[in-house]
Chain A
């Protein structure tokens, strides 16, 4: 965003991603069509294509929906997330071709406007099995269109990431509509249990992964709430999960809890804060990447910059500003290190404001070492008591 917009910022990973995407989609379409034509030579070509593109789009949507929770559960899947937008646009295009063929085949050339026909040609008659399914598909396609049309970084910047993200969370509405579209559409006719089984398996996979990941997120949040210093009675500001100490700084975690070049996440002032340890220093920034609100605290310091795990956007840990020519900025937090513990002031500094990194001085390093020894001593003691 700090540089001029281009159509697509191509790089080697994106090209690889798109090659796999296009190859997979082409394989799906060709295999479905050729096999259908071989097994059922009298099939109408348009309907064969309607089915190929429809099932292809639905499968691709399942894959896209699984990427998010998979990455929450295992960061090794993050490469699948990197260029997910291209998969989304492809999914929309497959759905669009499916819809265009449906309108031409089933609705055009009649006594009614073909688009209007989608709504008026499936009257409701009180029977569950004849719930009009085509309008479900129509509205799902509108949502997929909105998402595909706003997939460029121009829209991320001009809508701002939270608005953009809420718009793109409509994908769950689209998914629900498409499950209904398929359930009350083709499955009412195609009697094979395989069709029912495939959709059911897809549903269980998508919902199962999401619920698992969501539960883990809740668990992560409650973990920060359960740290000893947070169990003290909190102030009226309920969003602050760690309560301020006398001088307003909050005991966030131990220095030893943070791995080198990585961060620990706590919740302060209503949002997650990422506390990084690097080169003997501690810095805290807002956990929210300005690009797409990726979780910076799950990123890593690479070449001196906090790097977002989603798309590799970078920020200097002390200023929260992207290195030039990029212009992204995030709020920073004032930090102190005392007795091997990290204290963070819950009040964020305006985005891009330099906050002096706290140095892990000799004493705190020693304390850190001491606390480790202390721990082992207490373990020894514990062992002794057990004996």
Chain B
């Protein structure tokens, strides 16, 4: 019973991902990452499985109008943002 519910949820999630993936690889990818603008077909196909898996994240970036990939978060970058060194 739990297993069936889990599998149905997984199926719906991936199906939504597939529906989202098509417009994303055609239009969305270059909106959130300028380097994807001229990506060849091979690249677009390669990222489809990942888009199906992580579509809520990409949908949020696309919807909020993010233009660049995020800057990574590590101790040095955090410390650097706090102020300028002498």
Q: Which residues of A contact B (CB under 8 A)?
A: 1-8, 113, 115-116, 119-120, 145-146, 148-150, 152, 154-155, 157-163, 239, 248, 269-271, 273, 286, 288, 290, 293, 330-331, 333-334, 345, 347-351, 353
Contacts and interface: CB of A to CB of B under 8 A. Distances in A.
A26 B73 CA distance: 41
Q: Chain B interface secondary structure, helix, strand, loop or mixed? A: helix
Interface of B: 3-4, 7, 29, 32-33, 35-40, 42-43, 45-47, 49-50, 52-54, 58, 61, 69-77, 79-81, 83-86
A305 B67 CA distance: 29
Contacts of A3: 35
Given A149-B53, A160-B73, A345-B85, A154 B79 contact: no
B39 A146 contact: no
A160 B76 contact: no
Contact of A349 (B3, B58, B85): B85
Nearest to A288: B74
Contact of A5 (B35, B49, B53, B86): B35
A152 B46 contact: yes
A288 B76 contact: yes
A154 B86 contact: no
B7 A115 contact: yes
Contacts of A6: 39-40, 42-43
A329 to B, nearest CB: 9
Contacts of B81: 350
B37 A150 contact: no
B32 A145 contact: no
A115 B10 CA distance: 12
A308 to B, nearest CB: 14
A349 B80 contact: yes
B75 A239 contact: yes
A31 to B, nearest CB: 30
A150 B47 CA distance: 7
Contact of B3 (A116, A157, A288, A331): A116
A160 B69 contact: yes
29 contacts: A4-B35, A4-B36, A5-B39, A6-B42, A7-B45, A8-B42, A116-B4, A148-B49, A149-B49, A149-B50, A149-B53, A150-B50, A152-B46, A154-B39, A154-B50, A155-B54, A158-B32, A160-B69, A160-B71, A162-B72, A271-B75, A288-B72, A288-B76, A333-B85, A347-B79, A347-B83, A347-B85, A348-B76, A348-B85
